[in-house]
């Protein structure tokens, strides 16, 4: 959402065409007169079929769904500390944390997914815990990381290789005794004595660190190359190298991977607050809905949180408003209803007119501000007026509504009567209903020959609506099959104008039953039955007859 954030323009719950179209139009007005803010239309519920038709007709995208306007993690000041790969050394991790004064460092994968966390406490613990000499190899430490940590350069050997077995030895003994301590694959820290270097090579160590800028002779380098031994030359003294070397291990060896407490940008702060109180970490990682790491938040960030800012259209009753409205800041209200129960903290711009539709007020605002109305917005506003005034038949309709609709129809290039008929047909019997409600609004169960099956039906004059409905119903039927002992489900999508039905079905044997009963073949996940419109008189008798025939 960015620091500046968006201002949301939103209608009431269970939105109608007016509340959706007015929100879109007002967002257009506000963005064009922008004072530096960004405005976005939102909806507080499912769009009904009429509105869906109108948006499609004028090629406008539906506003995004906003179910709750409580503050979320994204409204907090997220600290954008970068994530680091798990291969970096403890020393580098410490340097990054020091530089950004962070106490928590997130470890991320290449694709940005959060993999683990490391805190200053983890680093201190790794350092303070007594380790055996195998600490470095157990952590699979890369040679270039070791060289970097001890401020050295790799004289010879594969810098990308890993120290994977052997211990760390400080070559402080006499050269003739050194061999007793050294084993193959060890890492040895040495001074400038040539005999020590030679002894280390003979014992086949995997890595040799020479301190104090000591020179390594050509014969030693040559032997090391033959043995695939890495030689690191460090400017530091033996004690400092020995003290620092454990910081070269990769952070993945000490990072916390399990049970990480992370927040999503969309999490509501009410829930987050409780978790922060229970788990007193200094910082919590924030990820987006795809699990990509964004930054961290701390308890302090809860204090500076911004409330969501809203403009309400087509309602002013708290009971009709989006959830958690009390947690948001209302900036304006534009409406045409009776005065309701909303209270605001500060004075707001409130425009409420006794007209048939909020869209009429939107038209007036465009005129007052001398803003040109695009044909698509004009189409939306005209549709809203037709819808809210039942094509000027409602007693709420005023001359202002008729005038606005006439002017908008001209801009949109539509015929009001024709458009109204198409729009009302689209919203006819499926207005604002869920797939489940549509599925069960005319659904009957039948039994024939111990087979239980169910058949639903929807009739419509609009072929597009039936096509859209089919897309919604196919996955839903799968979910319904098997309930209440029903082994097959069918749905008739009946086109009144064509006098035909398309049957979609789910369940073992359901397709075969349709094919046998009507001698048709499947096309595009359904069966077209010309002339079949009645479930009672045409479909069920054919099904039952076929089942009995097959049963005998």
What are the pLDDT digits (tens) for 168-186?
A: 888 866 666 776 778 888 8
Which residue has better confidence, 50 or 406?
406
Residue with tokens 């006098």: 499
Give the three-class secondary structure for 448: strand
Calpha distance 65→324 (Å, rounded):
14
Q: Are 180 and 199 in contact (CB under 8 A)?
A: no
Q: Are 23 and 315 in contact (CB under 8 A)?
A: no
Highest mean pLDDT among 99-108, 257-266, 408-417: 408-417
What are the pLDDT digits (tens) for 109-167?
A: 888 888 888 888 888 887 776 566 777 888 888 898 999 999 899 989 888 888 888 88
Which residue has better confidence, 321 or 350?
350
Q: Are 329 and 307 in contact (CB under 8 A)?
A: yes
> Rounded to the nearest 5°, which phi and psi values hold at 26?
-70, -35
Q: Average pLDDT of 187-191?
A: 90
- Give all strands (DSSP E) within 319-409, no chain letters: 329-335, 349-352
Paired residues of 446 in beta bridges = 453
The pLDDT, as a whole number, for residue 8 is 97
What does the buried/exposed string (b/e) look like for 444-467 if buried means 16 or more CB atoms within 10 Å of the residue's CB?
A: eebebeebebbbbbbebebeebbe
Element (H, E) at 302: helix 299-303
DSSP state of 169: E
The pLDDT, as a whole number, for residue 1 is 37
On the question of pLDDT at 374 being above 90, the answer is yes
Residue 458: name the closest of 551, 377, 533, 384 by CA: 533
The pLDDT, as a whole number, for residue 2 is 40
The pLDDT, as a whole number, for residue 257 is 82
Q: Average pLDDT of 331-340?
A: 86
Q: Are 169 and 182 in contact (CB under 8 A)?
A: yes
On the question of pLDDT at 3 being above 60, the answer is no
Q: What is the mean pLDDT of the chain?
A: 86
Element (H, E) at 503: strand 500-506
What are the pLDDT digits (tens) for 496-529?
A: 667 789 999 999 999 999 999 999 999 888 999 9
Which 3-state string (H, E, C) describes 14-53?
A: CCCHHHHHHHHHHHHHHHHCCCCCEEEEEECCCCCHHHHH
Highest mean pLDDT among 269-278, 382-391, 478-487: 382-391
> Rounded to the nearest 5°, which phi and psi values hold at 190?
-130, 165
The pLDDT, as a whole number, for residue 361 is 98
The pLDDT, as a whole number, for residue 481 is 79
Calpha distance 164→147 (Å, rounded):
16
The pLDDT, as a whole number, for residue 159 is 84
Q: Average pLDDT of 516-544?
A: 87
Element (H, E) at 352: strand 349-352
**Which two three-digit tokens encode residue 244?**
């620092």
178 Cα distance to chain centroid: 60
Q: Are 543 and 505 in contact (CB under 8 A)?
A: no
Highest mean pLDDT among 153-157, 170-174, 379-383, 385-389: 379-383
**Percent of the chain surpassing pLDDT 90:** 34
Q: Are 77 and 84 in contact (CB under 8 A)?
A: no
Calpha distance 245→229 (Å, rounded):
18
Which residue has better confidence, 81 or 18?
18
Q: Is the dihedral of CA 156, 159, 164, 167 positive or negative?
A: positive
Tally of residues, the chain: 552
Burial bucket for residue 24 (CB in 10 Å: 0-12, 13-18, 19+): buried
Helices 510-518 and 540-551, packing angle to 10 deg: 100
In the chain, count H helices and then E strands: 20, 23
**Which two three-digit tokens encode residue 63?**
């506003």
Q: Are 48 and 427 in contact (CB under 8 A)?
A: yes
Q: Average pLDDT of 288-300?
A: 85
**Domains in the chain, CATH or no CATH each:** 6-70+308-423 (3.90.1640.10), 140-248 (3.40.1390.20), 435-551 (3.10.310.20)
On the question of pLDDT at 56 being above 90, the answer is yes
On the question of pLDDT at 309 being above 50, the answer is yes
Element (H, E) at 405: helix 399-412
The confidence band for 301, taking pLDDT boundaries of 50, 70 and 90, is: confident
**Which two three-digit tokens encode residue 517?**
């009963």
The pLDDT, as a whole number, for residue 314 is 93
What are the pLDDT digits (tens) for 233-292?
A: 999 998 999 888 888 888 888 888 888 888 988 888 888 888 888 887 778 889 988 888
On the question of pLDDT at 72 being above 50, the answer is yes
Calpha distance 169→22 (Å, rounded):
77
DSSP state of 249: S
Calpha distance 64→27 (Å, rounded):
13
């Amino acid at each position: 959402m960015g620091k500046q954030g968006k201002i949301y323009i939103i209608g009431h719950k269970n939105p109608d065409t007016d509340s959706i179209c007015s929100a879109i139009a007002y967002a257009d007005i506000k963005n064009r007169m922008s004072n530096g803010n960004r405005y976005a239309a939102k909806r507080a519920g499912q769009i009904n079929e009429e509105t869906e038709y109108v948006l499609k007709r004028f090629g406008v995208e539906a506003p995004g769904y906003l179910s709750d306007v409580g503050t979320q993690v994204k409204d907090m000041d997220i600290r954008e500390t970068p994530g680091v790969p798990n291969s970096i050394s403890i020393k580098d991790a410490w340097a990054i944390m020091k530089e950004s004064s962070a106490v928590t460092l997130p470890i991320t994968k290449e694709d940005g997914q959060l993999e683990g966390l490391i805190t200053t406490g983890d680093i201190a613990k790794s350092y303070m815990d007594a380790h055996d000499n195998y600490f470095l190899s157990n952590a699979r430490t890369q040679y270039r990381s070791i060289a970097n940590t001890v401020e050295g350069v790799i004289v010879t050997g594969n810098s990308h290789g890993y120290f994977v077995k052997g211990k760390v030895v400080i070559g402080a003994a006499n050269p003739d005794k050194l061999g007793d301590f050294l084993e193959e694959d060890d890492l040895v820290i040495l001074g400038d004595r040539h005999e020590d270097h030679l002894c280390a090579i003979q014992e086949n160590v995997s890595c040799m660190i020479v301190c104090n800028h000591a020179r390594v002779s050509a014969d030693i380098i040559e032997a090391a190359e033959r043995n695939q031994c890495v030689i690191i030359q460090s400017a530091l003294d033996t004690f400092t190298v020995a003290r620092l070397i454990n910081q070269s291990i990769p952070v993945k060896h000490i990072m916390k991977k399990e049970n990480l407490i992370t927040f999503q940008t969309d999490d509501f702060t009410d829930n987050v607050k409780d978790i922060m109180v229970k788990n007193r970490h200094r910082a919590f990682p924030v990820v987006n809905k795809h699990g990509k790491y964004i930054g961290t938040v701390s308890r302090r960030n809860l204090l500076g949180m911004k409330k969501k800012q809203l403009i309400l259209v087509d309602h002013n009753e708290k009971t009709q408003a989006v959830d958690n409205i009390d947690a948001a800041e209302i900036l304006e209200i534009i409406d045409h209803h009776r005065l309701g129960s909303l209270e605001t903290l500060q004075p707001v711009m409130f425009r409420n007119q006794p007209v048939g539709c909020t869209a009429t007020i939107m038209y007036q605002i465009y005129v007052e501000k001398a803003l040109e109305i695009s044909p698509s917005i004009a189409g939306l506003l005209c549709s809203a007026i037709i819808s809210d005034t039942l094509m000027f038949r409602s007693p709420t309709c005023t001359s202002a509504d008729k005038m606005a609709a006439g002017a908008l129809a001209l801009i949109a290039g539509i015929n009001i009567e024709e458009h109204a008929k198409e729009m009302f047909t689209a919203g006819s019997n499926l207005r604002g209903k869920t797939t489940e409600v549509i599925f069960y609004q005319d659904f009957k169960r039948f039994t024939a020959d111990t087979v239980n099956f169910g058949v639903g039906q929807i009739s419509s004059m609009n072929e597009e609506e039936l096509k859209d409905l089919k897309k919604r119903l196919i996955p839903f039927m799968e979910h319904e099959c098997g309930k209440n002992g029903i082994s097959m489900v069918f749905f008739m999508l009946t086109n009144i104008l064509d006098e035909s039905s398309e049957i979609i079905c789910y369940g073992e044997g359901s397709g075969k039953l349709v094919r046998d009963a009507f001698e048709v073949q499947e096309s595009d996940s359904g069966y077209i039955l010309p002339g079949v419109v009645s479930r009672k008189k045409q479909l069920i008798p054919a099904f039952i007859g076929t089942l009995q025939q097959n049963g005998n």
